[in-house]
């Protein structure tokens, strides 16, 4: 039997946890192989032998570094100072060369030279510390001879091959960060006196003849212990070499070799294994420290470091001084996780199911895990801290299903949920309190997409023969792989001793948690504080920091390290400070980080794919020359990334030819190239109030691909022959070259539409736009008859100061007929292209679907509309469109109510999703909002990667280019669609968050006082809280600013006030006079009220607050008094 066959047979039967013997034959120094025999006990009781041979070399020296090459054609490349540099490996052949390398770095702590050897856990958990590098003049300290030195944890860091390979096996993210760190440290000239900032040496300990371990060194050991022993041997190798080098040359240099490991047992063995030598400092050749011990030592040498904040935490740090904590009786908050062997057996036996835990977007105390049951994928609800059991969003977990009687949907479960209040953990209550925050915000456009919409995942399963549906629930039994490599944005909250102004003035939930968990530690240097992430899916994180006072009021990045069972919240470490809370630049960084928006500059390998600066666009073979046609574009003012252009001419036969011309992005973005992979990752451009983050480099986005006026551009064109009555006779698809005669704004195009016909006879632009408008009206009328919806959005736009870019005014969007003109032709092009690619690639087409809404999503709106005598039918999109039109007629005396109902209808629907046609049945391809059987995105390839994929599919369908290989794989298309949906949604949320940020700045008076300040405006009631045991309140929409907020009537005695009338059927709150019993005032859904919008600021947060002004009988007297005082001040100021 061959070695490969023997290994395969062994893997079928062996239990990896039962290694009963390890027998190594240590070769003499003349041999170049190391045979290793292992014996395994199988579950059937057999003993199998595995023999491997490892090649050893005696020419590996003291490690390898990457250095910039002066010779072209280096083996690796890296971008250094904006330039592509060839890097080649260089072997440190002698100890003298090693000493020169170590002492030639710019890192310095006094006069001591340090070399650190790190183990796997340091790579996995302390990458932020390894990446830390600070110029010493940041604190105003320069070297005596003027040399600007840099500070890191050591002059040189040795990364053994064993540690690097184990890191790759356990976390690819950290492995990539480690390799990036090795490359980035390879720049020689860095402005620090010509010295390297720090030196990273990769040491091939696995194949180095001097770092092999003997069988006697490792009896009855498992592989992990063998790896640890080899790492200690590496540290001894370097310590011994450097000691002998300095001793032989009688060099009086303070130096040390440090083995960094968080494994307590490995550090103990490091001391026991070293032969004692009285001539060596401290009797050892190298010292073993944990990362925290090492950094604490460095921080004593330089108190300005604050590097302890970046050290990972692995226990709940019981050494507190200002809390009476009994370490022996520490509270255990969570059940222990199942160990790996039992977990593995449980997964195989289907007792447990594996999946990724995802928190709900608005709370970390509820989420779901998608599992496979047979051929179906099912979402299992995980609710409450006990069942979540320390899982964090993105963790791969093993879940155990609850019994069916505990699944959601049963009457018992619903009743139980209502009664569970006192039994909830503080963490659950904090999550719910956060959801009840009075903060107002920007109104949402659509409902959150369901799992069925996003990824075709079932949320309910049949539990009996009658087909009764319930939502499965379960609990996390164990963690398979943590998702702790992300950084989270937020702020710390510290205990603030403030006397309550009133008895009912309850503290903020953040203050309650901070009061419980903040403490000082016995070392007198560090303290534990509570960090609250912006992302509601992540629980509060306990940080151990040396700079609490400096971090208060700042936005910071934090990483999670661990979550032991005796800690109510996860433990983490500080990464870096973004800036002061509330400032525009800082909060913009925060929202980009929160929604994971790619915002880094395009790397050199992407820019290398671009055409040269002097690139000229000329007619190519196979491309249709359409430069003679009167093509023009219509876009918002100031638009630079012009995706589309239009034309319409009369044909000799009396019909019209109209065309949609889309930027030919795929001409410049080759499939599979670096720029294509970058675009696929970004998937979409992100539009914030004050900036745009492009999917493609600006040379393409705003120049070569932008269909600007009066220049030649490559395009992908769809041409229709239509009758004057808008009946399509024929359609053609061409790669083309066009010459736009004008780049019009919507307002300019509207002026051409409104221009009298007699003035347009010789006006080419006006004639084309008028013909397009005629066709667009008929296309739109036909779509509406087919059931397409006319919905609405509360979106507004800001007027920004030209210098500070702070908001000075808020305006509603003005829509012209020209907007509808462009929309109709883009819809026509997208529908036409979707049909074409689907005919040629029925299972590989990238389409966009909009599922029909569930009736339950509309129930609330249907009931509220009845209070105004309006009936809404959602049986299909046609009936919904008709009922909305009928509602508009009934509410004609108040046009905004018509718009409001359309806004709320949009919110009852999930957003559309990208998908691969082969993953859904044809009946599920339907686009509900557009009433289209099939639909795709073709018209915006500059800013959407889905359109790039569709361009490639269309090019292949018409035979002008082959279909890229990766677009022939349904699994790859599934991943592409999932990423595009995620990025598209993130870009939408980031855009909304940017609007929210600028809204706060506006109502706070601006960063420099130039904003609007507090405002009084009309608002409309969207929802009224009529539950018996709730605080009286209602939600309003402020049309002027697109703001939605909760108005609280907290001054009214909530539960037991006999004068408060709650009317759930009419969605109304009323208040009667205590003496006369007459009705004083009432608020019902869709009522018009007057509100005040203002910003409440505290030490770590700003909140947009909406207070009631009218009806006055329901308004808070203190709010009315404040209004009167403000009015008097304004009158006095006016008189003066």
Q: Which CA distances in Å does 733 have to 621, 644, 822, 957? A: 16, 15, 19, 10
Give me the mean pLDDT over the 174-192 stretch: 72
Rounded CA separation 734/625 (Å): 10
pLDDT, tens only, 890-912: 888 888 888 899 988 888 888 89
The candidate with the shortest Cα–Cα distance to 101, out of 177, 157, 142, is 157
**Please, where are the H alpha helices in 463-552?**
509-517, 548-551
* Residue located via tokens 């062994």: 10
- Residue 1053's pLDDT band, with cuts at 50, 70 and 90, is low
- DSSP-derived secondary structure for 565-611: TT-SS-EEEEEEEEEETT-HHHHHHHHHHHTT---SPPPHHHHTTSP
Task: Give the whole-angstrom CA distance, residue 610 versus residue 700.
Answer: 8
Residue 948 DSSP symbol: H
* pLDDT band, very low/low/confident/very high, at 86 (cuts 50, 70, 90): confident
Report the run of H or E that residue 860 belongs to, with start and end. Answer: helix 855-866
Closest CA to 661 of 736, 579, 604: 736
Which parts of 1032-1072 fold into alpha helices (H)?
A: none
Which is more confident, 151 or 97?
97
pLDDT given for residue 1010 in this prediction? 53
pLDDT digits over 10-57, tens only?
334 333 333 333 334 343 344 456 666 666 666 667 777 666 677 788
DSSP 446: S
Closest residue by Cα to residue 640 from 938, 939, 943: 943
Name the β-bridge partners of 287.
258
The pLDDT value given to residue 38: 62
pLDDT at 110 (0 to 100): 58
Does residue 503 or residue 712 have the better pLDDT? 712
Give Cα separations from 130 to 484, 508, 836, 921, 1086 (angstroms).
17, 37, 54, 51, 58
Instruction: Of 343-347, 433-437, 561-565, 963-967, give the lowest mean pLDDT range.
Output: 433-437
Which residue from 821, 827, 777, 832 is spatially nearest to 930, judged by alpha carbons? 827
d(CA 978, CA 737): 33
Please report the pLDDT score of residue 11 as a whole number. 37
Stated length of the chain: 1136
**Mean pLDDT of the residues in the chain:** 82
- pTM of structure: 0.82
More confident residue, 299 or 770: 770
The model's confidence at residue 598, banded by pLDDT at 50, 70 and 90, is very high
* pLDDT at 324 (0 to 100): 40
The DSSP symbol for 925 reads: G
Give DSSP secondary structure letters for 141-192: ---TTS---EE-S-SEEEEEHHHHHHHHHH-HHHHHHHHHHHHHTT-S--SS
Mean pLDDT of 801-811: 78
Question: Looking at 228-242, 825-839, 1067-1081, which range is the least confident one?
Answer: 1067-1081
- Segment of 806-815, 861-870, 1048-1057 carrying the highest mean pLDDT: 861-870
In contact, 117 and 97? CB cutoff 8 Å: no
Strand residue runs (E) in 396-526: 396-401, 441-442, 461-462, 469-470, 474-481, 487-493, 519-520
Check: CB of residue 804 under 8 Å from CB of residue 1007. Answer: yes
**Residues 378-394, mean pLDDT to the nearest whole number:** 93
Choose between 1076 and 82: higher pLDDT.
Answer: 1076
DSSP state of 704: I
Q: Please give the DSSP secondary-structure letter assigned to residue 29.
A: T
Q: What per-residue confidence (pLDDT) applies to 949? A: 97
Comparing 356 with 192, the larger pLDDT belongs to 356
More confident position, 10 or 822: 822
């Amino acid at each position: 039997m061959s070695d490969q066959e023997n290994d395969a047979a062994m893997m079928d039967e062996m239990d990896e946890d039962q290694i009963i013997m390890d027998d190594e034959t240590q070769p003499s120094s003349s041999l170049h192989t190391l045979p290793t025999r292992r014996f395994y006990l199988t579950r059937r009781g057999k003993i199998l032998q595995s023999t491997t041979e490892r090649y050893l070399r005696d020419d590996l020296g003291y490690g390898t570094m990457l250095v910039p090459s002066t010779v072209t054609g280096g083996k690796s490349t890296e971008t250094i100072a904006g330039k592509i540099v060839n890097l080649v490996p260089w072997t440190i052949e002698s100890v003298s060369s090693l000493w020169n390398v170590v002492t030639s770095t710019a890192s310095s702590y006094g006069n001591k030279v340090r070399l650190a050897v790190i183990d796997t856990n340091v790579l996995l958990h302390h990458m932020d510390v390894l990446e830390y590098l600070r110029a010493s003049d940041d604190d105003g300290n320069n070297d005596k001879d003027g040399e600007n030195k840099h500070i890191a944890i050591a002059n040189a860091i040795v990364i053994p091959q064993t540690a690097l390979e184990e890191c790759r096996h356990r976390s690819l993210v950290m492995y990539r960060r480690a390799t990036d760190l090795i490359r980035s440290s390879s720049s020689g000239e860095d402005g620090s006196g010509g010295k390297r900032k720090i030196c990273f040496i990769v040491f091939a300990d696995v194949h180095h003849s001097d770092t092999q371990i003997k069988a006697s060194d490792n009896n009855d050991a498992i592989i992990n212990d063998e790896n640890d022993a080899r790492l200690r041997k590496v540290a001894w190798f370097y310590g011994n070499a450097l000691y002998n080098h300095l001793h032989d040359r009688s060099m009086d240099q303070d130096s040390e070799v440090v083995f960094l490991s968080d494994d307590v047992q490995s550090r103990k063995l490091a001391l026991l294994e070293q032969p004692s030598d009285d001539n060596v400092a401290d009797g050892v050749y190298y010292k073993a420290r944990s990362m925290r011990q090492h950094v604490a030592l460095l921080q004593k040498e330089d108190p300005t470091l604050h590097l302890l904040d970046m050290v990972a935490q692995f226990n709940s740090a019981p050494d507190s001084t200002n809390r009476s904590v009994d370490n022996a009786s520490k509270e255990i908050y969570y059940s222990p996780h199942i160990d790996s062997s039992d977990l593995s057996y449980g997964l195989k036996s289907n007792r447990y199911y594996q999946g990724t835990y995802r928190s709900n977007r608005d709370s970390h105390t509820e989420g779901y895990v998608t599992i496979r049951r047979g051929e179906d994928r099912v979402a299992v609800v995980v609710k409450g801290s006990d069942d979540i059991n320390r899982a964090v969003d993105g963790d791969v977990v093993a879940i155990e299903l609850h019994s069916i009687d505990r699944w959601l949907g049963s009457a018992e479960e619903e009743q139980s949920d209502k009664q569970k209040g006192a039994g909830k953990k503080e963490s659950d209550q904090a999550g719910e309190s956060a959801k009840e925050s009075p903060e107002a915000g920007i109104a949402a456009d659509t409902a959150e997409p369901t799992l069925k919409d996003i990824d075709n995942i079932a949320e309910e399963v049949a539990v009996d023969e009658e087909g009764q549906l319930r939502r499965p629930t379960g609990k996390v039994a164990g963690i398979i792989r943590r998702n702790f490599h992300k950084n989270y944005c937020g702020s710390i909250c510290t205990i603030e001793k403030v006397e309550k102004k009133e008895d009912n003035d309850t503290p903020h939930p953040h203050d309650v948690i901070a009061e419980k968990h903040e403490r000082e530690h016995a070392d007198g240097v560090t303290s534990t504080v509570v960090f609250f992430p912006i992302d509601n899916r992540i629980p509060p994180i306990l940080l151990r920091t040396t700079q609490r006072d400096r971090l208060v009021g700042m936005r910071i990045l934090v990483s999670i390290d661990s979550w032991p069972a005796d800690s109510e919240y996860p433990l983490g470490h500080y990464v870096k400070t973004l800036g002061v809370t509330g400032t525009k630049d800082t909060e913009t960084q925060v929202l980009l980080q929160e929604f994971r928006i790619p915002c880094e500059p395009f790397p050199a390998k992407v820019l290398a794919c671009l055409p040269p600066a002097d690139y000229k666009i000329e007619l190519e073979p196979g491309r249709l020359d359409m430069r003679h046609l009167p093509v023009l574009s219509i876009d918002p003012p100031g638009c630079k990334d012009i995706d589309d252009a239009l034309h319409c001419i009369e044909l000799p036969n009396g019909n019209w030819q109209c065309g949609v011309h889309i930027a030919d992005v795929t001409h410049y973005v080759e499939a599979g190239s670096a720029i294509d992979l970058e675009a696929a990752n970004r998937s979409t451009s992100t539009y914030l109030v004050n900036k745009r983050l492009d999917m493609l480099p600006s040379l393409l986005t705003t120049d070569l691909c932008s269909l600007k006026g009066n220049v030649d551009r490559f395009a992908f064109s769809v041409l229709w022959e239509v009758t004057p009555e808008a009946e399509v006779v024929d359609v053609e698809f061409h790669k083309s070259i066009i010459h736009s005669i004008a780049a019009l704004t919507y307002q300019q195009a509207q002026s051409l539409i409104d221009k009298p016909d007699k003035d347009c006879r010789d006006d080419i632009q006006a004639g084309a736009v008028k013909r397009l408008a005629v066709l667009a009206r008929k296309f739109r009328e036909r779509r509406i008859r087919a059931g397409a919806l006319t919905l609405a959005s509360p979106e507004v736009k800001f007027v920004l100061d030209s210098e500070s870019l702070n908001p000075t005014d808020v305006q509603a969007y003005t829509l012209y007929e020209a907007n509808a003109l462009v929309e109709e032709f883009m819809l026509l092009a997208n529908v036409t292209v979707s049909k074409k690619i689907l005919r040629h690639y029925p299972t590989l087409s990238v389409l966009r679907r909009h599922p029909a809404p569930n009736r339950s999503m509309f129930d609330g709106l249907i009931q509220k509309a009845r209070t105004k005598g309006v009936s809404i039918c959602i049986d299909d999109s046609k009936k919904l469109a008709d009922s909305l039109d009928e509602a508009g007629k009934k509410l004609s005396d108040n046009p905004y109510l018509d718009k409001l109902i359309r806004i709320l209808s949009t919110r009852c629907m999930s957003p559309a999703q990208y998908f691969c046609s082969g993953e859904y049945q044809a009946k599920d391809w339907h686009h509900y909002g557009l009433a289209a059987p099939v639909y795709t995105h073709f018209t915006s390839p500059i800013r959407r990667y889905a359109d790039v994929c569709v361009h490639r599919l269309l090019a292949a369908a018409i035979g002008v280019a082959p279909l890229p290989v990766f677009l022939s794989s349904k699994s790859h298309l599934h991943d592409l669609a999932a990423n595009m949906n995620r990025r598209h949604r993130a870009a939408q949320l980031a855009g909304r968050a940017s609007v929210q940020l600028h809204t706060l700045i506006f109502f706070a008076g601006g960063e420099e006082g130039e904003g609007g300040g507090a405002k009084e405006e009309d608002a409309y009631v969207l929802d009224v809280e009529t539950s018996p045991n709730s605080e009286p309140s209602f939600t309003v929409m402020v049309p002027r600013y697109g703001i939605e907020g909760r108005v609280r009537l907290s001054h009214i005695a909530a539960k037991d006030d006999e004068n408060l009338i709650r009317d759930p059927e009419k969605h109304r709150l009323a208040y009667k006079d205590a003496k006369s019993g007459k009705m004083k005032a009432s608020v019902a859904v869709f009522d018009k009220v007057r509100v005040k919008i203002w910003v409440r600021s505290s030490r770590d947060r700003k909140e947009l607050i909406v207070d009631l002004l009218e009806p006055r009988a329901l308004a808070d007297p203190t709010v009315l008094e404040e209004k009167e005082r403000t009015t008097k001040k304004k009158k006095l100021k006016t008189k003066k």
